[in-house]
Amino acid sequence: KAGVTQTPRYLIKTRGQQVTLSCSPISGHRSVSWYQQTPGQGLQFLFEYFSETQRNKGNFPGRFSGRQFSNSRSEMNVSTLELGDSALYLCASSLDTAKNIQYFGAGTRLSVL
C-alpha cells in the first residue's frame, strides 16, 4: 500500500511569490492535515480537510490556504511568501476514526530567498 505522497520535495522561491504544494493521502484515507515544521517553532498544525471541507484550522495568517479534492488529494497554497515561511511542510493522512492515527508524507522543504 502506497504511503502519503508529497510533491515537490524541494522548492526554492523568492519573497512575494506564491507556492502550491500537493499531497496524495494513503488510499482510503479521507482526512488530510497539513503542518509546518521549523527549528524554532517545531511542528505546528496548519489545517485539516475531510470530504473537501476544512474542519480545523491553526493559527496561521490568511496567506496560508488549502483545499481538498473529491479523490481526497489536497493542496496547500502560500501567497506573498516571506522569509519566515521557509520550513518543512508536512502532510499527514488518517482514516478519520475517532483515534486520528496520522501517517506523514516525506514533506516539502520550502526555501524562501
Partner 1 sequence: QKEVEQNSGPLSVPEGAIASLNCTYSDRGSQSFFWYRQYSGKSPELIMFIYSNGDKEDGRFTAQLNKASQYVSLLIRDSQPSDSATYLCAVNTAAGNKLTFGGGTRVLVKP
Least Å from the CB of residue 71 to partner 1: 19
24 in contact with partner 1 (CB under 8 A): no
Nearest to partner 1 of 12, 15 (CB atom): 12
Q: What SS3 state is found at 85? A: helix
Q: What SS3 state is found at 72? A: coil
68 in contact with partner 1 (CB under 8 A): no
- Residues that bind partner 1 (rule: CB under 8 A) add up to a total of 27
48 in contact with partner 1 (CB under 8 A): yes
In total, the chain counts a number of residues equal to 113
Cβ-contact 26, 1 below 8 angstroms: yes
